[in-house]
Amino acid sequence: MTLFETLKDRCRDEWQAYTRHEFVTALGAGALPLAVFRDYLVQDFHFLVQFARANALAAYKSRTLADITAAHAATGAILAETELHLRLTERWGIPRPELEAAAEKQATVAYTRYVLDAGMAGDVLDLHVALAPCTIGYAEIGAHLAPRLDEYGGDGDGGGGGHPYGEWIAEYSGPEFTAASRAAIEQLDVLAGGGLTDRRLDELTDVFRTATRLEIDFWQQALDSVL
Amino acid sequence: MTLFETLKDRCRDEWQAYTRHEFVTALGAGALPLAVFRDYLVQDFHFLVQFARANALAAYKSRTLADITAAHAATGAILAETELHLRLTERWGIPRPELEAAAEKQATVAYTRYVLDAGMAGDVLDLHVALAPCTIGYAEIGAHLAPRLDEYGGDGDGGGGGHPYGEWIAEYSGPEFTAASRAAIEQLDVLAGGGLTDRRLDELTDVFRTATRLEIDFWQQALDSVL
Amino acid sequence: MTLFETLKDRCRDEWQAYTRHEFVTALGAGALPLAVFRDYLVQDFHFLVQFARANALAAYKSRTLADITAAHAATGAILAETELHLRLTERWGIPRPELEAAAEKQATVAYTRYVLDAGMAGDVLDLHVALAPCTIGYAEIGAHLAPRLDEYGGDGDGGGGGHPYGEWIAEYSGPEFTAASRAAIEQLDVLAGGGLTDRRLDELTDVFRTATRLEIDFWQQALDSVL
Amino acid sequence: MTLFETLKDRCRDEWQAYTRHEFVTALGAGALPLAVFRDYLVQDFHFLVQFARANALAAYKSRTLADITAAHAATGAILAETELHLRLTERWGIPRPELEAAAEKQATVAYTRYVLDAGMAGDVLDLHVALAPCTIGYAEIGAHLAPRLDEYGGDGDGGGGGHPYGEWIAEYSGPEFTAASRAAIEQLDVLAGGGLTDRRLDELTDVFRTATRLEIDFWQQALDSVL
């Protein structure tokens, strides 16, 4: 059993509430109000900026040239994803200045700063456990929603077909994100180094549970934005 | 004009929404539901623990023995306040194990981790600006609510009289907290060192505004806990 | 076997070279040139200032109120030791302004900033392992040199007798410092939580070895100051 | 006058001692013993690894996507320089495993960890001022030594001609490093934002002076390696 599976197992209810959240279900069914999705996209931009900082923090925290190089590549991947995201939001009618001027909402601040603080105060394993609900969870959600693309006449080329949020689903169920998620799962085991004491596992469970709860709040924040 | 006044002036709406929040008004009128106050006390415990960490961070960030010593004393004051808080919550019927086991809610995580990250990523002035809505704002709120104590037959000895939340009001309007708030205002000006560029002032305004917004969310979180 | 004994065992040569350094032997024999001791005292002042910062860092890095409180007390102990040190140096004819104006030398910067960076990049166990050669090593050196006090007519009251460096030996062989050293040994085992993977032990050995090497350099720096 | 010129002016003696150090003069004259140069190369490898961490720290400390992206690019440039360095050292007969196994010496630890701590405890301007003696100083040294290449029959193509250390001189006097140095000078002025208080300038001067002193120690360490 991988460390990720152990953590997921210990936080089963929170994980379920996160990966099967009403936001996710509605997005998959194409029934998510556009205003909700737009609010999500704006906050997700701020999220990505802070996640780039979190990956830079991992590079700072590395002990070897190989680990610095890997964390640097991960930061580059986030920056590239942010560029993609900027093009996507522009297509959805949110101009970049509006995006950058939008205030970070509470759930955005809570999750991103929690990750950064857990990673700074703890070690690089704490940091990656705090990032896991995002890195690994989004791939799980993508895989879960991918069949919905076919229902909308997706042509199997990853283009998203006629699904209103097909591009989003295609990105997170695509081969690149799936491979990144698998690598993240393996990295947790490498960092755990073949064994953890009970106390250490409790600490990491606490970090994983809090981060997962904050992901739930992040979905909910978007739903609440149109109330 | 002190730096604090400048910041407050630039964030007038947020400051008003924070210091005159419905939670504050109801608390002053003795009309705040007890369940709301208890929820607040539980979260405020977690808040104080993270604020002790933030003051320890200020000690780490100091350049001189005098500054380390001052930040160490401030950490000690927070730890003492936390002990008082633990006695208060026990009297309000919340046993310590329950307090420590309670999960940190979203607004608690958001404000505390924002302060810690702003302080770590920025310099010691960013840190103190992020702390200001708490350190200085609570004294302002305490002074604003103090007259309410008399209405409840407060006897002027700071004991809180018959007001249901008299002890809370007495603490934050008392001479010790008032002096600490004045010292915090002065320290901001010392740290600003006689001048700030426009860009720096914009950065600090951004930190102050975000921290104030997160304080509003902290009051609201308690009100929402009984919905 | 405690973690400390394991680390000492793995770095036997460096530990010997540090705790039985020519500086230590000459100090014990009362044969250390006064100019060397004075140079050491000046640099040790800067050392203590940075060590107070390192203990504040431990408080920032703590996960529980109990750990924050313990680290806060440790910072307070260092600040108190620094005050003692300031009185000692003044008696040895080094006025405080001269002390504070003296530049930090290379070995002082190397050891103190190594500890701070190892602690920030790693976790709180890395930090305490980096501090161990100082915290625990000085007590070992004190115990080793204590018999020298008797030779100089020490009266057993810890006053240092007629030994030129008796006050220094008395401090580091005294009950307070000895107890602090024992507590530090126990804390390492508590933090290691009953077990470490081989890779983790290798990382910690690397930190311990480097810190011990930098302690050797610190003694040598004082000896070299009169060349 | 740029901030860099101001700092250089305030630390004129240290800057001269660093950029005109015996190591530099001997290297330029082709008279540096090969064993000294090899010792320098080994330590410079460790130096670059820590400098990559310092640039990752700058990315973590950034407030905007543009600043994160710029710091990320700078980290990438250091990692690329490290790869070049690894090829260079292999050509000079130092196999990579030997390089990685070599202990970091005192002056290497002192400079690199000083930069990392100054940057973590201060803000991003402190970090860049601490990096300046390296980033900008090496370009100044390269420009000063470039004429020596011609004396050795350099053919103007930047290849280093017959000079024993021509490749090193060519790299640091080349257009890429020169441009990076100019960008670093400009960035200091951007970060200073059009003005600094006297106290802030004193703090930065202290950081710049210490970093420059530690660069002097770094040259000296290589010279001393063959004593």
Chain B residue with minimal CA distance to D59?
Answer: B121
Residue B51, phi then psi, degrees to nearest 5: -70, -30
Nearest-CB residue to D110 (from C110, C116, C213): C110
Q: What's the 3-state SS for C157-206?
A: CCCCCCCCCHHHHHHHHCHHHHHHHHHHHHHHHHHHCCCCCHHHHHHHHH
Residue of C18, C61, C117, C217 to mutate, interface with D, max D Cβ within 10 Å: C117
- CA–CA separation, C122 and A123 (whole Å): 5
Nearest-CB residue to D110 (from C109, C121, C210): C109
pLDDT at A160: 54
pLDDT tens digits, D17-71? 999 999 999 999 999 999 999 999 999 999 999 999 999 999 999 999 999 999 9
Q: Is the ipTM here above 0.90?
A: yes
pLDDT beyond 60 at C206: yes
A95 dihedral zone (left: phi>0; alpha: psi -120 to 50; beta): beta
Query: Among C206, C193, C222, C168, which Cα is nearest to C38's?
Result: C222
Residue B149 contacts by C-beta under 8 Å, 6 or more apart in sequence? B160, B161, B163, B166, B169, B170, B173
pLDDT tens digits, B80-103? 989 988 988 998 889 999 998 999
Q: Looking at CA atoms only, how far is residue C57 from chain A in angstroms? A: 9
Nearest-CB residue to A114 (from B107, B109, B120): B109
pLDDT beyond 80 at B195: no
Chain B residue with minimal CA distance to D194?
Answer: B197
Average pLDDT over residues A11-30: 98
Average pLDDT over residues A197-216: 95
pLDDT at D211: 98
Q: Tokens for C44?
A: 């040790």
pLDDT at A154: 54
pLDDT tens digits, A124-179? 999 999 999 999 999 999 999 999 998 886 544 545 568 999 999 999 999 999 99
pLDDT at C193: 83
For residue D59, the chain A residues in CB contact (below 8 A) are 52-53, 56, 59, 75
pLDDT beyond 60 at C155: no
Q: Looking at CA atoms only, how far is residue B60 from chain C in angstroms? A: 4
- CA–CA separation, A45 and A64 (whole Å): 31
Chain D residue with minimal CA distance to C104?
Answer: D210
- CA–CA separation, B53 and A118 (whole Å): 12
Could you tell me the pTM of the whole model?
Answer: 0.94
Residue of D124, D125, D197, D198 to mutate, interface with B, max B Cβ within 10 Å: D197
Cross-chain Cβ contact C57/B60 below 8 Å:
yes
pLDDT beyond 60 at D81: yes
Q: Looking at CA atoms only, how far is residue A193 from chain C in angstroms? A: 6
Nearest-CB residue to D113 (from C107, C117, C217): C117
pLDDT beyond 80 at B160: no
pLDDT at D56: 98
Residue of C62, C68, C120 to mutate, interface with B, max B Cβ within 10 Å: C68
Q: Is B66 exposed, middle or buried (0-12, 13-18, 19+ CB in 10 A)?
A: exposed
**DSSP string covering D152-194:** TT--SSSS-TT-TTHHHHHHHHSHHHHHHHHHHHHHHHHHHTT
Radius of gyration (C-alpha) of chain D in whole angstroms: 17
- CA–CA separation, C116 and C104 (whole Å): 16
pLDDT beyond 80 at D194: no
pLDDT at D159: 54
Q: Tokens for B170?
A: 């007495």
Cross-chain Cβ contact A103/B213 below 8 Å:
yes
- CA–CA separation, A109 and A148 (whole Å): 31
- CA–CA separation, C116 and D109 (whole Å): 12
Instruction: Let me know: does C46 contact C104? Beta carbons within 8 Å.
Output: yes
Question: What three-state secondary structure class fits B85?
Answer: helix
Instruction: Let me know: does C36 contact C223? Beta carbons within 8 Å.
Output: yes
pLDDT at B156: 47
How many CB atoms are closer than 10 A to CB C210?
Answer: 22
- CA–CA separation, C110 and C130 (whole Å): 12
**DSSP string covering D20-88:** T-HHHHHHHTT-S-HHHHHHHHHHHHHHHHHHHHHHHHHHHT-SSHHHHHHHHHHHHHHHHHHHHHHHH
Quote the DSSP letter at residue B161: T
C146 dihedral zone (left: phi>0; alpha: psi -120 to 50; beta): alpha
- CA–CA separation, A46 and A39 (whole Å): 11
- CA–CA separation, B11 and B209 (whole Å): 6
State how far the alpha carbon of C127 is from the alpha carbons of A123, A199, C204, D64, in Å: 11, 19, 10, 31
Nearest-CB residue to C200 (from A60, A120, A193): A193
For CA atoms A162, A167, A173, A174, the dihedral sign is positive
- CA–CA separation, B143 and B225 (whole Å): 27
